Structure 1
Amino acid sequence: MRTTQHILFWFLVMVFLTITFGQADGQYMKSFYYVSFLLPVAIGTSYFFNYYLVPKYLLKQRYFKFGLYCLYTLIISLYFEELVLTTSFILLANYKYANLNPYSTNLFLLTTTIYFIVFVNAFILLIKRYQRKEHLLSRMEEQNEKNKTEQIIVRVDRQNKPIDLDDLMVIESLADYVKLHLTSESVITKEKISQLQEKLPDYFIRVHRSFIVNKNHIDTYGKEELTIGQMTIKISRTYKKEAIEAISV
Structure 2
Amino acid sequence: MLAILLQNSIPNFWNAWLIALFFLPIAFFIKYGIQKTKLLKGFKKWNRYFFIAIISLFWGYVAIVLAYWYFLELKANSIESTLVNPIFIWIIIGFFILLEQAVFKKNKQIDKETITIFSDRKKTIITIANLAYIESRGDFTLAVLLDGSQYKNTIRITEWELKLDTFIRIHRSFLVNPNEATLNGNEIIINKAWNLPISRSYKQQVMAYFK
* TM bucket, shorter chain: 0.3 to 0.5
Q: Find the structure with the greater CA-based Rg.
A: 1
Identify, as 1 or 2, the structure richer in helix: 1
Q: TM-score, normalised by structure 2?
A: 0.45
